[in-house]
Structure 1
Amino acid sequence: MIVNYLITALRAFKQQKQHFLLNVIGLSVGLAAAILVALFAKNELSFDQHQPNADRVYRVAQDYSRLGLSTIPIYNYTRGTQALDFSQVEDVFALKMVEFTREAEVDVKHNNQGFKLNNLYAATANIEDFIAMDVLAGNIKEAMSTPNSLALSESEALRIFGTVNVVGETLNHAKGSYTVKAVFADLPDNTHFGFQALVYAEHISENLFQSSHYVYLKLTAGTDISALEKQLTEQAFTGDFKGKMFVELHPLLDLHLTAKSPFEMKAGGTKQVVTICVGLSILLVLIASFNFINMTVAQSTKRAKEVGVRKALGASKTQLVSQFLSESVLVAVLSMVLACVLVELVMPSFNSLVDRELVLNYVSSFGAGIAIVAIAVGVLAGLYPAFFISSFSAKRVLSGDLQRGSTAIWVRKSLLTFQASLAIGLIIGSATLLQQLSHLQNLPLGYQTAQRLVISEVPVGEVFTQQPSAVVNKLLAIEGVQHLGVIDTQLTRSINNTLRPTWPNGEESGGITPVVGTSFEVVKSLGLELLAGRDFSREFAGDWANRVDGITYVGTIVTETVAKQAGFTNVADILGKSIKDIGRNVDMRVIGVVADVKIGNAQNANTDIMFLLGFNYLNPTSEVVLTVNPQNVLSIRQQAAEILAQHANVFEPKINLLSDSYKAVLKGDERISQVVLIFTGLAVFLTCLGTFGLASFSAARRQKEVAVRKVLGASRISIVNILAKEFLVLVGVSIAIAYPVTYLLVGDWLANFNDRIDQAVWVYGIAAVVVAGITWVTVASLAFKAASTRPSLILRYE
């Protein structure tokens, strides 16, 4: 029986080549897209699932939103240990940001060759209770308990020593040396942890407001997270901070997709990307399935006599349904095989797009899932056509009395309408995404990114000085370097320091204001727009931060927003006035006002900034901003690295064009737009495929009508428009469905941005015109062919 079904199916495929090819191509493209995205989603959702007790581990974060800033995942370890006072907390683990804070030396030498320890952190000794690590040699716990000890990842050990057998080896640095006590396997890609080297460091701090740790709490099962957050907040923040700062607990398993802080150890994913990808892949499979249903039902009249003959010979409805379902499943299986071939061909490009190293293992549960889904698609997509075709009456079919069922027509039109709605919505969404991305890329940042080369994380003692240091002078001497400035903040990352200003009129600010420590001529070095006053100048050396009788006096340049917050409508009126932070005893005299500057990422940027000359509060590193001749960038990079190595013991420095750093901030949104564009193209392609199939059958069915109209004098164009009208009406219904739904979904996505575009009416119009135009061209190409056929060839047997 099965063999007969198979032979009959193959015979049907041979007789209906166009129908078979359209179905296979459509399903294979849809399945290939679904496989790729399911593989990506599986990887994204697997992050940190392998960690010990992952479902009970939470990372502590501090919410500064009431003070005008965002939520950051950095906390004070001493405060973290105080959480053990609560019965819900079983254990506390912390990773210290020593690379960023420079509490440990990151620049080391081995055999007189300099190296930078990449992604260096200090961990508490209980690290293996929170992170699954494969220790290749030595003892991690001992390394994190012994001063001057180091643990290296396998890749770091190979990079520096050329072997992993390095336990007992030493690395020299400016203040002494490290002894390697352990080597561990590189962390897997599917974890938010991003360290490559671990060093021993003290964790306990008397200053409870100095935060430099990622703190993780292991909680008892069933803990009320909201209640514990409230208890931790009440314990940590009292006095002036009560009701203004809050403790949040973020689940370890959610960090990869939800954590957006610039202080993350490595770039994470986003729920938006996963949701969009999964949603679009499902839509593509649905569109391909709808194509299959539509074309099979439309093709049913060509197989009506076959059904009538089979029924006359005694075939039951069950046997007929089984026959047509077996054809459907066979098409799905063949499509699955072709889809897997397509997946292997495009996998490298897809990996590059989503920035992952995905591999498809066919001999796995995922491989079995692909087969199950393909068969399920074949069964579900073929179910309605099978029952529809098998329901034909043998008597009516063989007597030539076969009329189209209203249900079949309704199903075909509904599915085609849904396909067109999806295509319109996706075109609108992708066009809006591109507009928003272009808007973000061309935002007036307030500072210049062109011709700015930034050397990151240079020790403050080497460059952040009132008089030019030897390193500064040597950098200025490089050919092509036109100007040099120093700030203590990464412009595309986040603000490091804040103050609580009291305005010149004595009124206290309701929040905290970000501050940036700078060297002289910050307006020139960053290309700021000076609205009033002057730049920091060596002619006014007294503006440099100076501590006198417990009070720090410092010159400041404020942004326009700060001036207005201080109550000055005319920003020039604030010049010469003093802004004070009473808590830290800082007296800031305003000497200039600049246009607003956006510091941070595209979604959360600060504009209320105060630039303080020579002011550095606990920042161990600074950013050197070089204004350069673009033609000399490569040589400047090389010479700057040599100068830092020779005169500052800084090896393998991070040197990037500021324009490139800003583009990197938008990488996630760029990835979303690329994914949507690709899937939009596929959706439109599949919709055209379905329209082509249905239009070809419609043209064939209405050949006699076309012939009669030609005999009566109808032109080809009029006939084309008559045949296309049926499809264009469906497109009109699709537009009415797609517009409101798309408007709400796109608006919800745009709401995530502080700076965003308004949805453009013309985008909606273009999307409708594009889909209607493609539909008309597709139908017209077939209708024109039918209209060009001589009527005598069609009507000669009438």
Structure 2
Amino acid sequence: MLYNYLKIALRNLKRKRAYTLINIVGLALGFACAILIFSFVKYHLSFDTFHSKKDRIYRIVTEDHMEKVFYYPGTPPPVGKAFRNDYTFSEKVSRVYIMQPRLISLPFSAENHKFLEDQGVAFAEPGFFDIMDFPLIKGDKKNLLTEPNTALVTERIAKKYFGDANPIGKIIRIENKQDFRITGILADLPQNTDRRQEIYVPFSNLKEYNSWAAGDDGWDGVSSNFQCFVLLKPGISPSLVNKVFPAFSRKYYDGDYELEWQYRLQPLSDIHFNPDFEGKMSRRNLWALSLIGIFLIITAAVNFINLATAQALNRAREVGIRKALGGQRGQLFWQFIIETTIINVIAMLLAFVLIRLTLPFLSVLLDIPVDNHFFRDSYLLLFLPLLLVLVIFLSGAYPGLVMAGFQPVRALKGQLSQKHVGGFSLRRGLVIIQFVISQLLIIGTLIIVYQMHYVNQINMGFQKDAIIMVRVPSNAKSKISTLRSELSRLPAVEKFSFCNQPPPGYGGGREMVYDTRRRRENYDVVLKWGDEQYLSTFGLQLLAGRNLYPSDTTREYLVNETLVKKLGVRNEDVIGKNAKLDDVNGTIVGLIKDFHNESLHNSIAPLAIASRTRSYEFCAVKINTVGLQATISALQKVWAQVYPDNVFQSEFLDERIAQFYKQDQRIQQIIQTFTAVAIFIACLGLYGLVSFMAARKTKEVGVRKVLGASIHSILWLFGKEFIRLLLIAFVIAAPLSWYIMNKWLESFAYRISPGIEIFILAIFITLSITGLTVGYTSVKAALMNPVKSLRSE
């Protein structure tokens, strides 16, 4: 019986090549996109799930409750030690400080090799590797990070530094300061972890590099690079621990501070996804992409149902004969399901081919490790048959039931009509669903494109073009003075400034006491360190007062408009007043125009700029871009003269700004790609449906032309139905997409307001695509010789 089903199914599919091809291509594209989206979502959901104790691993995070709540993935340095000493909730507590990026040299190698590690170096307490499962390949696990001046490195780093030689006992030097002996080799890091550091050294060595982070007194400062991980004892719930944190704050803070500094546990499973605590991927984006994957499968299935029901009447006599010869309804149903299965299996195989052919493009688009072992994923191998069975029955069940339900007498007499196969009402509904999905994706894509264009074109309040940020390894006065002198001699260098951060970059929040006020302000002030050339180099606008005078220490402040507004004073009144930021007093000498100090996801913060040579980390160099490579080479040469023991590191300022929107840009590219695929699948279905309509209306078109109908009226005969359905779909899709995309736009403090022009453009795009799809077949039918049309039936 099965052989008979297969034989008949293949015969039918071969006879209707166009119908078969349209369905296979549409389903293949749907499958390919669904598989890719599944892999993308599964990859991100797998982050840090490989740790054996993952359900008991938490990170202590900080909430700074001031004028508004600020969230930090880190803690003040003493928090972890105090928590470990005060409470018995945990098996292990480990503090980790990330110093990045850092220079690593091999002092005893012949060439004294130097490497700049972008992911930095991790200073970790010994319990870290009892909490996290990063396997140790060589070394003694009991003594990890217990002995000062020892180091753990991954296999990749060991091979990079020492080739095939045994790395145990080898010496590496960090920041030209301290030597560390390698005592252990870790397995290479898996792709799905947010812990990307490949060099670990003892926490006890941190005092040589950052006395604040290594100390026990910094309760009023927090850094995202300083984090604390906790392994709770079995049976201890995080809610129980969170209840003690208010008392913890009361113990270590006085007055308003005990309400301001609050802590809680963040599950390991939440770290990758929580944007409040610098998560890399929003769950909302994963849900959106999952929904797009479902839309694509629905669109392909709708195509199949539409074409299958449209073709059903052509098979009425076949069904009637089979029933007259004793065929059962169930047998006819399963025969059609076999046909559907063949189409879907071929489509699935074609989807594999498409994915393999586009692997390089997909790896860049999705930013996930898509390689030749892509189909060895056990979760994917479970997902594929489930997806295949779902689509087979989603697309094949209804047409199969319809045809199996034909009455044999009516079928043999040719008395069946469209109403017996669901009629145009069913196909109208399915076409509307396709149009709704297409317009949801088109409107969503347009809003994302408009917002990202707004982000890229908005005046940030500073100059970003042709500025190179060059890292300064040492901010000793003599080094800064020498570099300043050498840069002044380069003709292509227009301006330069020493600073700790450019305008777009977090400078750290500081408490502020203004003038004679006794209480500190209830908000933090972002403090940026920059010399007297900072304003001119970045094109910042001075509104009142004067610029900073040259100074190696902090004596004066420049403040922005937002800070003045929050102080509640007039612009001119702020000049000459004293300001104390943390413990540093200075006089406000100038008011600068607001500029965006972070991405447009965040509001402009109250901000101050002051000079302090020992805090400078960068030299911002504004250059003439004529002869760019020669200029950069000259910069490298000058820099190497001043810092011969270091590695030159630089980036253009606009590249740094682009990093703010990396995730947004990637999501935009992914959605644009899948939207194009969804539209193409829908167009395939429309083309097939219109082709079928044209074939059934051949005689009608011939009669109309003989009676004098124009080509335009013939085109309208085919197009009016789809235009009506498109408008109905737009009425449904427009408010739905407006609601969804406004939720997405809420993540931006500065955003567009979706206007009617976006929706007009969306309907125009959909009409144009539909017109081209429907028009091609309609024009062919309208131009057909009426004599041939009338003879065709």
Percent pairwise identity:
26
Q: Distance in 2 between matches of 1:644 and 1:121?
A: 27
Q: Is the Cα–Cα contact under 8 Å of residues 142 and 181 in structure 1 kept in the other structure?
A: no
Give deviations 1:323-371, integer Å, cap 9, x for gaps: 1010001100000000100011112111101222123543553224313
Q: What is the deviation of 1:700?
A: 1.9
Contact 2:699 2:792 in 1 (8 A): no
1:412 aligns with 2:458: no
Corresponding residue for residue 444 of structure 1: 459
In structure 1, what is the Cα distance between the partners aligned to 2:293 and 2:315? Answer: 32
SS state of the match for residue 471, structure 2? Answer: strand
Partner of 1:217: 230
Give 1:127 deviation, angstroms: 2.3
Q: Distance in 2 between matches of 1:400 and 1:4?
A: 26
CA distance in structure 2 between the aligned counterparts of 1:403 and 1:179, rounded to whole angstroms: 85
| Alignment match, 1:481 | 493
8 Å Cα contact 1:143-1:199 kept in structure 2:
no
Cα pair distance change 1:785/1:640, threshold 3 Å: closer
8 Å contact from structure 1 (residues 711, 791) kept in 2: yes
Alpha-carbon contact 1:96-1:121 (below 8 Å) kept:
yes
Deviations 1:355-404 (A, max 9, x none): 22123543553224313322331132100000101111111121121122
Q: Counterpart amino acid of 1:197?
A: I
Q: Which residue of 2 aligns with 1:257?
A: 273
Runs of 5+ consecutive residues of structure 2 not aligned to the other structure: 207-213
Q: Go from structure 1 to structure 2 and tell me whether the alpha carbon gap of 1:495 and 1:65 turns closer, same or farther (over 3 Å shift).
A: farther
Change (3 A) 1:562 1:636: same
Instruction: Report the AA paired with residue 250 of structure 1.
Output: Q
Equivalence for 1:673: 668
Residue in structure 1 matched with residue 413 of structure 2 by the alignment? 399
Q: 1:476 to 1:610 in 2, by over 3 A?
A: same
1:169 aligns with 2:170: yes
Correspondence 1:236-635 to 2 at 5 A: 236=249, 238-239=253-254, 240-259=256-275, 261=277, 268-359=280-371, 360-365=373-378, 366-405=380-419, 407-456=422-471, 458-461=473-476, 468-489=480-501, 491-503=503-515, 508-538=520-550, 541=551, 545=553, 554-569=555-570, 571-581=571-581, 584-604=582-602, 606-614=604-612, 622-635=617-630
Q: Describe the superposition over 1:189-222 as per-residue Cα deviations: whole angstroms up to 9, x where unpaired.
A: 1001011111223276221425452101112455
Distance in 1 of aligned mates of 2:477 and 2:610: 19
The 3 A distance-change label for structure 1 pair 175 and 317 is closer
SS in 2 for 1:599: coil
The CA deviation at 1:574 is 1.8
Q: How does 1:89-104 map to 2 (within 5 A)?
A: 89-99=90-100
Alignment-mate amino acid for residue 454 of structure 1: M
Structure 1 partner of 2:745: 750
* Aligned-pair CA distance for 1:650: 5.3
Quote the offset at 1:791 in angstroms. Answer: 3.2
Moved more, 700-709 or 144-153: 700-709
C-alpha change, 1:259 and 1:199, in structure 2 (3 Å) is: farther
More displaced 10-residue stretch of structure 1: 750-759 or 203-212: 203-212
CA shift digits 1:217-250 (9 cap, x unpaired): 1124554434533422431353231222321322
Is the 1:516–1:611 Cα contact (8 Å) retained in structure 2?
yes
Relative to structure 1, the CA distance from residue 69 to residue 527 in structure 2 (aligned partners, 3 Å threshold; closer, same or farther) is farther
- d(CA) in 1 for partners of 2:293, 2:79: 46
Partner of 1:549: none
Q: C-alpha separation between the residues in 1 aligned to 2:709 and 2:686?
A: 25
CA pair 606-51 structure 1, distance change in 2 beyond 3 A: farther
Matches within 5 A, 1:738-777: 738-777=733-772
Q: Secondary structure at the match of 2:66?
A: helix
Is 1:788 the counterpart of 2:783? The answer is yes
* Structure 1 partner of 2:732: 737
SS at match of 2:557: strand
Higher mean displacement: 204-213 or 623-632: 204-213
The answer on whether the counterparts of 2:525 and 2:605 sit within 8 Å (CA) in structure 1 is: no
The secondary structure found in structure 1 opposite 2:410 is helix
Which of 668, 686, 689 aligns to 2:681? It is 686
TM-score when normalising by structure 2: 0.92
User: 2 CA distance for matches of 1:15 and 1:788?
Assistant: 26
Alpha-carbon offset, residue 418 of structure 1: 0.7
CA offsets, 1:728-778, max 9 Å, x none? 111111011101110100000000111111002111011112212322332
**After alignment, is 221-230 or 35-44 more displaced?**
221-230
Aligned equivalents of 1:397 and 1:515: distance in 2?
A: 83
Match of 1:157 in 2: 158
Task: State the partner residue of 1:550.
Answer: none
Residues 58, 266 of structure 2: 8 Å contact kept: yes
Hey, what does 1:191 align to over in structure 2?
193
C-alpha separation in 2, matches of 1:665 and 1:702: 56
Which amino acid in 1 is paired with 2:95? A
1:182 is matched with 184
Is the CA contact 1:152–1:197 (under 8 Å) kept in the aligned structure 2?
Answer: yes
d(CA) in 2 for partners of 1:609 and 1:183? 45
Question: Does 2:67 align with 1:81?
Answer: no
Distance 1:222 1:171, change over 3 A: closer
> 8 Å contact 1:446–1:528 — kept in the other structure?
yes
SS in 2 for 1:64: strand
Provide Cα deviations, 1:676-701, integer angstroms capped at 9, x if missing partner.
11111111111111111111112222
Q: For residue 206 of structure 1, what is the amino acid of its counterpart?
A: D
Contact 2:603 2:750 in 1 (8 A): no
Q: Decide whether aligned partners of structure 1 residues 43 and 444 sit closer, same or farther in structure 2, where only a CA change above 3 A counts.
A: same
2: distance between equivalents of 1:89 and 1:493? 36
d(CA) in 1 for partners of 2:672 and 2:760?
18
CA contact (8 A) 2:711 2:783 kept: yes
> Residues 260, 637 of structure 1: CA spacing in aligned structure 2 closer, same or farther, 3 A cutoff?
farther
**Counterparts of 1:600 and 1:358, CA distance in 2:** 32
Amino acid in structure 2 at the alignment position of 1:405: K
The farther-off stretch of 159-168 and 435-444 is 159-168
Alpha-carbon distance, 1:69 to partner? 6.6
The answer as to whether partners of 1:229 and 1:248 remain within 8 angstroms in 2 is yes
Mean CA deviation greater in 703-712 or 715-724: 703-712
Q: One-letter code of the match for 1:198?
A: Y
Alignment match, 1:44: 44
Q: CA offsets per residue over residues 409-452 of structure 1, 9 Å max, x none?
A: 33211111010011111111101101111111122222211121
Output the CA distance in 1 between the equivalents of 2:707 and 2:311. 29
Q: 5+ unaligned residues in a row in structure 1: which ranges?
A: 547-553
TM-score normalised per structure 1: 0.91
- The Cα shift of 1:20 comes to 0.5
Q: Distance between the aligned counterparts of 1:117 and 1:727, measured in 2? A: 59
Change (3 A) 1:593 1:647: same
8 Å Cα contact 2:62/2:262 also seen in 1: yes
Judging changes above 3 Å, is the alpha-carbon distance between structure 1 residues 699 and 275 closer, same or farther for their aligned structure 2 residues?
same
Report the Cα offset of residue 545 of structure 1: 3.1
Deviation at 1:157, TM superposition (A): 2.1
SS in 1 for 2:370: coil
Q: Following TM superposition, by how much is the alpha carbon of 1:184 offset from its aligned partner in structure 2, in angstroms? A: 1.7
8 Å Cα contact 1:557-1:593 kept in structure 2: yes
